[in-house]
Amino acid sequence: MFHIKIYFALFFHNIAFFMSMFFFIQYSIVRKKEHLHYAVYLLTLFIYYFLAMPDLFIPMNEANSSFIASMGIFKRPVQFLSSVFYTFFVIYYLGLDTTSPKLKKFFRMLIGGYLFFSATCLALNLLNIKYDYFYFIISLLLFPVQLTVVTALLKHKVPYARFVIWGTIVVIIGSIIALGYTMYGPHVTLLERIQIFLPAQAC
């Protein structure tokens, strides 16, 4: 069962990489900005997977221990960056310039917030300041924001928004499960961290 979960994690990790390459190729052909932002979003997910479970890809030994530990500095900043590029994707995919300028302004504010949190996490990590408690609070506060996004898309009846709505709902459910397990589960072993890691990336 342990090996099945590892292969399962590696499968989705590789899927993110090859889908990213596919959308980069699509962008090079059709030059649609939503393809570019979705490709970068998938690439940041690929990088996040690597940072979240480095010992799944790099042998754990004394020579690599300091390098693996240093990778944790970038995990949360990259996580917030993935949200930045996904939000850009939503803006261009739904054509919010014309379909809903008010929603575009709201999403622009979200992007600013994600960039702020990414930069703050990186600075605190470099200064070796512990902030886990505040990180969990921010993560919890983002759930109502995601619900607001779903409500706004339903209210404004933006074309093709149903795909983003369903994706956001899946992310909310997965994030709640992952965050709850992170806060209360005994996630010590590699297997347990795989169980934390997978639901949070449900989209």
The three-state DSSP-derived secondary structure of 44-94 is: HHHHHHHHHCHHHCCCCCHHHHHHHHHHHHHHHHHHHHHHHHHHHHHHHHC
Q: Is the pTM of this model over 0.85?
A: no
- Residues 6 or more apart whose CB falls under 8 angstroms from that of 180 comprise none
**Per-residue pLDDT tens digits for 118-157:** 999 999 999 999 888 888 788 777 777 777 777 777 776 6
pLDDT at 202 over 50: no
pLDDT at 201 over 50: no
Whole-number Å distance between alpha carbons of 114 and 107: 10
- Mean pLDDT (whole number) for 31-41: 92
Q: Using CB atoms within 10 A of its CB, is residue 175 exposed (0-12), middle (13-18) or buried (19+)?
A: buried
**Per-residue pLDDT tens digits for 107-118:** 899 999 999 999
Looking at residue 25, its pLDDT comes to 94
Q: Beta strands of the chain (E only): which ranges?
A: none
Looking at residue 200, its pLDDT comes to 40
> Are 81 and 30 spatial neighbours (Cβ–Cβ below 8 Å)?
no
pLDDT at 183 over 60: no
**Per-residue pLDDT tens digits for 69-82:** 788 899 899 989 99
Whole-number Å distance between alpha carbons of 39 and 22: 8
Cα distances (Å, whole numbers) of residue 200 to 12, 28, 122, 139, 180:
12, 30, 21, 12, 11
**CA trace torsion 148, 154, 159, 161 (10° rounding):** 50
- Kindly indicate the confidence band of residue 103, based on its pLDDT and cuts at 50, 70 and 90: confident
